[in-house]
Structure 1
Amino acid sequence: MKQFFKMFFASLLAMIVAGVVMVVIFIAIIAGLVSKTVSSEKEKKVMTASVLKIELDRTMHEQGETNSFSMFSNDEPYNAGLYDVVKSIKKAATDDNIKGIFIKLDGTANGWATLQQLRQALTEFKSSKKFIYAYGENIPQKAYYVASVADSVYLNPVGSMEVKGLVSQLTFFKNALSKLEVQPEIYYAGKFKSATEPFRADKISDANRVQITALQNGIWAEFLNAAAQHAGTDTASIHALATNGSIQFPADALKSKLVDGLLYWDEVEDRMRSKMGLKADEKINYVSLDEYNDKSVVDGKSEDGRIAVLFAEGDIVDGSKEDDYQIASEDFVKTIRSLRKNDKVKAVVMRVNSPGGSALASEVMLRELQLLRQKKPLIVSMGDVAASGGYYISCQADSIFAMPNTITGSIGVFSMLFSIEGLMKNKLGVNFDEVKNAPYADFPTMSRNLTANEAQRMQNGVDTIYHIFKSRVAAGRHISEADVDSIAQGRVWTGKDALAIHLIDAYGNLDRAIQSAAAKAKLSSYKVVTYPEPVDKLEKLFRRVSRANASTALTKQMIENELGEDYQWYKEFKSLRKMNGKTMMAMPTKLSFE
């Protein structure tokens, strides 16, 4: 009876939670429809003497997302992505109502290539002769990289600023697995292929240290150039500030001319008012990127044809999308096919921001991209990362554009299994036994260590896929497999190095890639359309509820909210189970340059 009531009340709770969720979803749908109707009938106007506000602590995904829940909060109905942000800055340069740009400096989770594109857009904005001011109470290095383009950078008098160099820290689990008696079975091709290193070693290998050092040097060089340009000095002097730890206090930053003043926020606003010709008590009209976002997709007045921008952001996975910002082969292939069959679309620009993932999913998508390219031009634009599987799906495009800070390459393959035989037997007292009618009936398995013959089969599979990877790159980049092998081996490159070794064709942001696509398709005027449809927060909730019951979906959301930035670790550990025994083309986890 006790068990019955336990089950009854658990089921009742789940039904109540599900009911509440469905009511919220229904209301959100109605709110979304009303919001769209209102926004379509009345376009929000920007007030005169406004300032476009850019907050660096917001994460800029490649594509924006709609928010059907905005009616219940102060949020905007559309959250601008990087594509929207760049367009908005470009539009602001010619908008008489926008008098300048203010950059709020703070910690940022955005990648170096994203920040480089943002900085490039701001540099072009300066030709309008409008002001750019930047201010922060604390200014991290990545934020200062963007801020250095400003006319004036201000720091709080008791704030802090970083100029200290870059660090990339990796976490190793080999000894922890050993204590748990979990045996990792690891197979890889490419001496630089370091994705499995945290599970097979207890420190950074010599080869991995070489490539991380090269990546750091490339990104650091870009930072030094930006900082030196603002400070009116040379890169050696900025580098000396970092190596000597010279920037401890705000006064040090001012003395080194990295900032233009030590001011409080009200004093910064006074300077902006003076620049705009406002009175001391007049309010400054700040316009956020989400508010200002220009969702117009038209470039040119006539419609000779359309250029489709296909966003590919996130891990590459098999089947259908299960999480936000994934490139799922089944869903992605449907979109590629629809673009191939759409006669109005004359060219496709694929915007790739992915560390890779499933080798099979990468091959399935590359095949569809090959078929698309037989009918119309295919141009690739790379974001922060387009490596391993991300490079695989890019390598056979007509042209590839990337930023100097883009992380790309990583032409290598690996596969992993984790044997839990020792953990279960020696730690938990659990044994496995089985009956099979063929030697490989249970292969691959986590319940025991692999035999030497099984291990060789795993390595053979990895080597075969690695050879296919190199052959795809050789065919797409028109170089020999021997030359590909010399720059492959799983090594990761910056966009700057990738240009020198012919992994990309030129530097350029998404706009540059669109221009290339137009030229390739011989279009003098065109409309730009984006695929897939922007992600909606309501869609995210639907996806989570559809995969599990309502209580499970809400539990997952609570875990995500509680862990914050550390939620990424939770996701990565979950992904280990999904990649168990699969052949992967993926970057090392959590490789960052802070």
Structure 2
Amino acid sequence: MKFLRNLLASILGFFIALFLIFVFFFIIAAIAGDGDKVVVKENSVLELDLSTPIKDYAPKEDNPIAEALELTEEKLALNKIINAIENAKTDTKIKGISIKTTFVNAGIAQTQAIRNKLEEFKESGKFVYAYNDVYSQKNYYLSSVADSLFLNPVGAIDFKGLSTEILYFKDFEDKYGIKMEVIRHGKYKSAVEPFLENQMSEANREQTTSFLKSIWSEIIEDVSKSRNISIEELNIIADNSNGRNAETALKSNLIDASIYEDEYKEKLASVTNDKFKTISLEDYIKSGKGRVSSTSKDKIAVIYAQGDIMYGEGSEDYIGQGIINKAIIKAKEDNNVKAIVLRVNSPGGSALASELIWRELELAKQEKPLVVSMGNLAASGGYYIACNADKIIAEPTTITGSIGVFGAIPNFSQFAGNIGINAEQVHTNNSATYSVFEPMNQKFYDITKEGVEQIYTTFVNRVSTGRNMTFEQVNEVAQGRVWTGKEAIEKGLVDQLGSLEDAIKVAAELAEIETYKVRNFPNYKTDLKDALQLSPFGKASKEEILKEAMGDENYQLYYNINRMKNLKGIQARMPFTFQIK
């Protein structure tokens, strides 16, 4: 009897303790929530630090305990950055903007969108200044929008033109007997080329040169207008690295003055009438300036599709047909939603998942206007899910197209033989089977090739119908080739150039509404259990730990190989191994 009483007391004590722990966590969450309230002070300067990873969409964590304990990933949302700059235009407490960031942790199209918004901000009559010790090329591109741009006397500007480097593994495969068996359609489908060749093909060199030149032309045209330097002179500056120190940068007119940080603060003081306060972009967003308010009942739904496309539920980091299709259906069935904007930032991925998302969008399009806005990437599967929209709007530096498919399977047969491993199979039927320990047989290749060709034909037909082009016209610009947004307009793959804001305005025009509020989708939920799975290194993710240990270049090699290893099914994916520098 005593044992039973003690057991019941222990069980009761456990549940009381559990309850108190949760109460404690919720109190901490509430206190943290109160502490997050930010008040914008008079005579403030909005300071832009964009070194935190920037995503098109980064919804606030819906788990208050995880948020309070800072178990969530640090990130900035592009839509909130744009809204914050828009609000700062008319905010009487904000006197100007100071761009002061160690580097810009965003894609080129995202960077251009922020830069264009800063151009609009300047039209309000408020100032934009920029200062840095060292400017990376992307950072300089953004900062060149400033009225006045300053550099530390011992600093430098990395202004040298664009380049990319692709690693090829064919010789490695031959040497060690570990390779990828590849079946593809599209002469430009260079996502798998590094596993088939030991050097770049002429077709791949052609497309890479083309889109690098297209992106570079956008960058120097913008810098030319802001700095009043001719495009020809900017190319000479890049060729001769004339931003390599403060002296040459000043002579080349890349900067307005070479000063120290304390002198920069003095300049801010003079332009704001002496006593000023700085408010960080993150705090300004927390104050409520990361959204544009509206009292209208009408809504434009913006559905964010960001990351690789993978068959399954999906998450904030990758696109799955589960979460995205639920968001599409919810927007379609909401009577207050008058139009849908699909924001795509994806290199593609699973052809099956892309088709399932395409189908749900096709059903939604029959009821409401559908507009696509393209971010950094909208290629292969990313273009697949975009092609049936009423209007497609891309940034000039968006990388899109890549209409092609492939299948890739690892094979260890040669490696196994080299180390003395022999695999024997037993079958009940003579079906097309595959083993990583045996060379690919012709029957399996033929059946897989048939599947690749079927999906390619379906892909081209989807584009043909969506873009009102013939199969032959699409096939001509397909073959897996990638284009920038500027090039894609000429090829008929995109309707116009513009930002997400522009796409929302077009959607409103198609829906014939003048006032509206923007409703963002999808909603992501993070389980507390997942959030509490901390590494022994604190909040650092596995990727951050590996980067720190291996270095960026070695990590990129690991990432590319690991990414190919995990591909399942036939892929509609762009050559995402490009790292533009």
TM-score by length of 1: 0.87
8 Å CA contact retained: 1:189, 1:462: yes
Q: CA deviation at 1:79?
A: 4.9
Point out the more displaced range, 289-298 or 552-561. Answer: 552-561
Return the alpha-carbon distance in structure 2 between the equivalents of residues 76 and 288 of structure 1.
19
Deviations 1:141-199 (A, max 9, x none): 11111111100110110011112111110011111122221242111111111000111
Q: Which consecutive unaligned segments of at least 5 residues does structure 2 have? A: 1-18
Which residue does the alignment assign to 2:41? 47
- Give the direction of change, closer, same or farther, for the CA distance of 1:78–1:197 in structure 2 (3 Å limit): closer
Q: CA deviation at 1:421?
A: 1.7
Which residue does the alignment assign to 1:7? none
Which residue does the alignment assign to 1:253? 249
Does residue 574 (structure 1) correspond to residue 562 (structure 2)? The answer is yes
Which residue does the alignment assign to 2:300? 307
Which residue does the alignment assign to 1:592? 579
8 Å CA contact retained: 2:56, 2:77: yes
Point out the more displaced range, 188-197 or 431-440. Answer: 431-440
Paired residue secondary structure (1:317):
coil
Which residue does the alignment assign to 1:491? 481
Return the alpha-carbon distance in structure 2 between the equivalents of residues 182 and 114 of structure 1.
38
Which residue does the alignment assign to 1:113? 109
Return the alpha-carbon distance in structure 1 between the equivalents of residues 391 and 29 of structure 2.
39
Return the alpha-carbon distance in structure 2 between the equivalents of residues 23 and 395 of structure 1.
53
- Counterpart selection for 2:412 from 391, 416, 420: 420
- Counterpart selection for 2:399 from 404, 407, 423: 407
Return the alpha-carbon distance in structure 1 between the equivalents of residues 125 and 343 of structure 2.
31
Which residue does the alignment assign to 2:95? 99
Deviations 1:80-99 (A, max 9, x none): 40000001001001001001
- Counterpart selection for 1:531 from 513, 521, 527: 521
Which residue does the alignment assign to 1:13? none
Paired residue secondary structure (2:345):
strand
Q: CA deviation at 1:300?
A: 4.0
Deviations 1:441-464 (A, max 9, x none): 6x2332211112221222221111
Deviations 1:346-395 (A, max 9, x none): 21111110000000000011001111111111111110100100000000
- Counterpart selection for 1:134 from 101, 121, 130: 130
- Give the direction of change, closer, same or farther, for the CA distance of 1:297–1:52 in structure 2 (3 Å limit): closer
- Counterpart selection for 1:156 from 144, 149, 152: 152
Return the alpha-carbon distance in structure 1 between the equivalents of residues 82 and 329 of structure 2.
28
Paired residue secondary structure (1:164):
coil
Does residue 239 (structure 1) correspond to residue 235 (structure 2)? The answer is yes
- Give the direction of change, closer, same or farther, for the CA distance of 1:290–1:188 in structure 2 (3 Å limit): same
Q: CA deviation at 1:574?
A: 3.3
Amino acid at match of 2:506: S
Amino acid at match of 2:220: L
Return the alpha-carbon distance in structure 1 between the equivalents of residues 111 and 224 of structure 2.
17
8 Å CA contact retained: 1:105, 1:138: no
Return the alpha-carbon distance in structure 2 between the equivalents of residues 553 and 466 of structure 1.
45
Q: CA deviation at 1:209?
A: 0.4
Return the alpha-carbon distance in structure 1 between the equivalents of residues 306 and 528 of structure 2.
19
Instruction: Name the % identity.
Output: 35
Return the alpha-carbon distance in structure 2 between the equivalents of residues 133 and 163 of structure 1.
19
Q: CA deviation at 1:508?
A: 1.2
Amino acid at match of 1:464: Q
8 Å CA contact retained: 1:191, 1:489: yes
Q: CA deviation at 1:575?
A: 3.1
Return the alpha-carbon distance in structure 1 between the equivalents of residues 516 and 539 of structure 2.
46
Point out the more displaced range, 564-573 or 353-362. Answer: 564-573
Q: CA deviation at 1:76?
A: 11
Amino acid at match of 1:157: P
8 Å CA contact retained: 2:53, 2:75: no
8 Å CA contact retained: 1:154, 1:260: yes
Which residue does the alignment assign to 2:332? 340
- Counterpart selection for 2:454 from 455, 464, 482: 464
- Give the direction of change, closer, same or farther, for the CA distance of 1:431–1:164 in structure 2 (3 Å limit): same
Q: CA deviation at 1:302?
A: 2.8
- Counterpart selection for 2:547 from 548, 560, 563: 563
- Give the direction of change, closer, same or farther, for the CA distance of 1:555–1:56 in structure 2 (3 Å limit): closer
- Give the direction of change, closer, same or farther, for the CA distance of 1:469–1:543 in structure 2 (3 Å limit): farther
Return the alpha-carbon distance in structure 1 between the equivalents of residues 289 and 73 of structure 2.
12
8 Å CA contact retained: 2:323, 2:522: no
Does residue 182 (structure 1) correspond to residue 175 (structure 2)? The answer is no
Deviations 1:380-432 (A, max 9, x none): 111010010000000001111111011111001111112112212322x2221
Return the alpha-carbon distance in structure 2 between the equivalents of residues 411 and 23 of structure 1.
56
- Counterpart selection for 2:272 from 261, 276, 279: 276
8 Å CA contact retained: 1:70, 1:77: no
Paired residue secondary structure (1:316):
coil
Return the alpha-carbon distance in structure 2 between the equivalents of residues 30 and 327 of structure 1.
35
For the aligned residue pairs, the C-alpha RMSD in angstroms reads 2.8
Which residue does the alignment assign to 1:434? 425
Alignment of 1:284-363 (within 5 A): 284-293=276-285, 294=288, 300-303=294-297, 305-321=298-314, 324-363=316-355
Deviations 1:435-489 (A, max 9, x none): 1011226x23322111122212222211111111100000000011111011111
Which residue does the alignment assign to 1:147? 143
- Counterpart selection for 1:224 from 214, 220, 224: 220
Point out the more displaced range, 377-386 or 239-248. Answer: 239-248
Q: CA deviation at 1:584?
A: 0.2
8 Å CA contact retained: 1:299, 1:526: no
TM-score by length of 2: 0.89
- Give the direction of change, closer, same or farther, for the CA distance of 1:53–1:316 in structure 2 (3 Å limit): same
8 Å CA contact retained: 2:305, 2:346: yes
Q: CA deviation at 1:567?
A: 5.3
Which residue does the alignment assign to 2:50? 56
- Give the direction of change, closer, same or farther, for the CA distance of 1:353–1:340 in structure 2 (3 Å limit): same
Return the alpha-carbon distance in structure 2 between the equivalents of residues 592 and 26 of structure 1.
47
Which residue does the alignment assign to 1:6? none
Return the alpha-carbon distance in structure 2 between the equivalents of residues 349 and 204 of structure 1.
37
Q: CA deviation at 1:287?
A: 1.3
- Give the direction of change, closer, same or farther, for the CA distance of 1:32–1:202 in structure 2 (3 Å limit): farther
8 Å CA contact retained: 2:243, 2:254: no
- Give the direction of change, closer, same or farther, for the CA distance of 1:517–1:25 in structure 2 (3 Å limit): farther
- Give the direction of change, closer, same or farther, for the CA distance of 1:376–1:482 in structure 2 (3 Å limit): same
- Give the direction of change, closer, same or farther, for the CA distance of 1:553–1:231 in structure 2 (3 Å limit): closer
8 Å CA contact retained: 1:324, 1:540: no
Task: Count residues with an aligned counterpart.
Answer: 555
Return the alpha-carbon distance in structure 2 between the equivalents of residues 30 and 102 of structure 1.
37
- Give the direction of change, closer, same or farther, for the CA distance of 1:372–1:131 in structure 2 (3 Å limit): same
8 Å CA contact retained: 2:547, 2:555: yes
Return the alpha-carbon distance in structure 2 between the equivalents of residues 555 and 70 of structure 1.
12
Which residue does the alignment assign to 1:517? 507
Does residue 209 (structure 1) correspond to residue 205 (structure 2)? The answer is yes
Return the alpha-carbon distance in structure 1 between the equivalents of residues 454 and 385 of structure 2.
18
Point out the more displaced range, 158-167 or 390-399. Answer: 158-167
Paired residue secondary structure (1:245):
coil
- Give the direction of change, closer, same or farther, for the CA distance of 1:296–1:156 in structure 2 (3 Å limit): closer
Return the alpha-carbon distance in structure 2 between the equivalents of residues 559 and 325 of structure 1.
13
- Counterpart selection for 1:90 from 86, 104, 107: 86
Which residue does the alignment assign to 2:11? none
Return the alpha-carbon distance in structure 2 between the equivalents of residues 327 and 76 of structure 1.
20
Q: CA deviation at 1:65?
A: 3.8
- Give the direction of change, closer, same or farther, for the CA distance of 1:173–1:148 in structure 2 (3 Å limit): same
Return the alpha-carbon distance in structure 2 between the equivalents of residues 25 and 504 of structure 1.
51
8 Å CA contact retained: 1:316, 1:389: yes
Return the alpha-carbon distance in structure 2 between the equivalents of residues 137 and 448 of structure 1.
56
- Give the direction of change, closer, same or farther, for the CA distance of 1:158–1:394 in structure 2 (3 Å limit): same
Return the alpha-carbon distance in structure 2 between the equivalents of residues 296 and 324 of structure 1.
19
Does residue 508 (structure 1) correspond to residue 495 (structure 2)? The answer is no
